[in-house]
Structure 1
């Protein structure tokens, strides 16, 4: 727990640092946050990082009440002041905090390795923000795509970005994020990603990958032949990318050598996984089924952000406000994940006992103002966290292996703007 206490103290110090102040100023407002106001930079960001699920005024009144350790709401700042302050906040400020948090989690040992590699899952999810008609300049579109890179082990979102639904697709979004990956990462991809040019790009950059490929995806003759053969694994050559793809993505126009592995589920369903991990001693064929299943963590993360943190209920109508809200809730979810990891470890819970993340969010939210801004309480941070970890460790559920729950067909639920929590 001492590691978590120090992490929160350093995170709070980061919010008040001159380095963060420099990064947080919007290019159009180079002197922002210089004067002493009721809503300084650290307080503004701390309010956003609590995971705003109610109206702006209700969230701020609750925030200042928790900061003063009292039950009665405190009306200290208006929602108009909040809107004016957040307009001066740079779009890279909160993502920069997330980068700092991920680097710190790596340093503190929160991110495990799978056979010496860091697992990174990539996927996208359609979001429908609860917007209304307005005359706001650069107003946000209601329907957008949230693309993310996710660390399945510690349940941390490495990076995320919003895109128009009319853009080229998730493969292109992945290309834009490849600079965040290193040769020590193993990229986990679903069946919507296989393409000859993408495999060529990943091999060119020496990025390890494991992706699901179906018989019909891309029309790979070698995959169809592998399925018919009944073999457990086979090394094959994918056809070279076409000329236009090779030019667009600056990848070699050469056949790509990959390894195909067959994975049979308990219900008899078969999956074909494609990878560039060729060492059958370090990576035997029977390890890839469990490896691919770890990708499911990013699906749970999207669900948690949408339905636990009300990601689609934004606090502004402009695209700038929407991007800030998404980034803030990702940092909020990452902080909750680190708290849950510590609670599980300190309570010495068995592997099949999992922390209830929804309850962890609820338990952490009232303490966030004090943890992020309560510099005067000093050693009491450890006391507060100890009580929090005990509460979270008492709310667990039993995880059952090899359980399959097919998705139910039908439209996904999207709450209206008027259906915010009270």
Structure 2
């Protein structure tokens, strides 16, 4: 309840409003679409016809028994241009600070486990959107990237950028938001000496998968048959040295890193690279399972794209795309936080069952539709308790280690089969 009130207080703060309005004269006149109402409406994830969504929103906001047309869709489209999309990113940072202060973070051997990955999303077919974000195969596409806490599913920092911006460039931008005493997981698309050097410079730790032919050192390590070795890495290739210079790190400085071989069930070997050099605290046999936890960020992208319907934007402008993206990240974090707080209750209730159970994310987000608006406008312990009770009654079994071939009975359709969007 404290976190809900903190967010509400932010939306009523004149300094906060002034920071995230486009012009000083915006949101100064007394209208129905105030700064706070506009933020709440976008956080409510409008995915159907705008006029229908607006009528439902104001019915909840005004505690009316029937729907009436208080604001038109045209008025909303005009008002949203007054709001900076970064308002939702700021609210998310505030949410993460509240989670930190409450001591809700989980650690692995004293480290928080994070992951970074990127993806793409198709955008509305508008020339202005194409000019800003770029295109792929003649369709407007944006790249987005997230810094993700694998333990609780929280997105700590997110970016939506032009398609031409690479995933490794996004990783550089995430680095300022990586907390101390953490370990960041990367897949094999990220290795680069300049990124190794930046992590060392910031005194942060990483674990990433290397392509088997990454360089001569990696090939020799594979041929040696060793499972664990510490070596010095330098930027020998001219392109690697150029990247180091552009990133502001010394290309001639060697970096001591650790190579770890992992044998896969199919008989193949993969190579992991990490800055964790202490073999006693971090023995080689713990890294295979640790790297597998990176899959959580892939699952998170399924939530964002499928359940939250990322590509179903509520507007057709650059501003609308950014607003929907950042608002979706904040809504997802709020839903996962509630489910995280519920988990001990669920486990206690079902401790005698064979499988572990958790709250169903799609049902959880659906329960927040319109209800979250009411909670943020009129914070109420009873209302929050009712939402949590509904979330706790919609459960999914956790079945770890499942590995089977997917058999499709028909051609794949658009989206992810078996996963339903939220209401």
Matched, 1:121 2:118: no
- The 2-side partners of 1:335 and 1:126 are apart by 23
- The 1-side partners of 2:341 and 2:152 are apart by 10
Give the gaps of 5 or more residues in structure 2. 135-139
Candidates 8, 11, 15, aligned match of 2:11: 15
Give the gaps of 5 or more residues in structure 1. none
- The 1-side partners of 2:225 and 2:68 are apart by 67
Greater Cα offset, 262-271 or 243-252: 262-271
Taking CA–CA contacts closer than 8 Å with sequence separation of 6 or more, which of the two structures ends up with the larger relative contact order?
1
Deviation of the 1:238 alpha carbon: 2.3
Matched, 1:208 2:205: yes
Deviation of the 1:355 alpha carbon: 2.1
- The 1-side partners of 2:187 and 2:404 are apart by 17
- The 1-side partners of 2:268 and 2:339 are apart by 34
Residues 374-393 of structure 1: per-residue CA shift (max 9 Å, x gap): 2xxx5xx2112222212212
Q: Secondary structure at the match of 1:84?
A: helix
| TM-score between both structures, scaled by the size of structure 2 | 0.87
Residue pair 1:234, 1:261 contacting (<8 A) in 2 also: yes
Matched, 1:132 2:125: yes
Q: Secondary structure at the match of 1:186?
A: strand
Q: Which residue of 2 aligns with 1:244?
A: 242
Matched, 1:58 2:57: no
Q: Secondary structure at the match of 1:313?
A: coil
Residue pair 1:66, 1:370 contacting (<8 A) in 2 also: yes
Matched, 1:46 2:40: yes
| TM-score between both structures, scaled by the size of structure 1 | 0.88
- The 1-side partners of 2:360 and 2:345 are apart by 15
- The 2-side partners of 1:200 and 1:52 are apart by 43
- The 2-side partners of 1:156 and 1:21 are apart by 25
Q: Which residue of 2 aligns with 1:184?
A: 181
Residue pair 1:110, 1:338 contacting (<8 A) in 2 also: no
Deviation of the 1:206 alpha carbon: 1.6
- The 1-side partners of 2:185 and 2:302 are apart by 18
- The 1-side partners of 2:300 and 2:10 are apart by 26
| Closer/same/farther in 2, CA of residues 115 and 229 from structure 1, 3 Å limit | same
Residue pair 1:139, 1:317 contacting (<8 A) in 2 also: no
Residue pair 2:367, 2:391 contacting (<8 A) in 1 also: yes
Matched, 1:370 2:352: no
Deviation of the 1:126 alpha carbon: 1.0
Q: Which residue of 1 aligns with 2:363?
A: 359
Deviation of the 1:398 alpha carbon: 2.1
Deviation of the 1:247 alpha carbon: 1.5
Candidates 61, 73, 77, aligned match of 2:71: 77
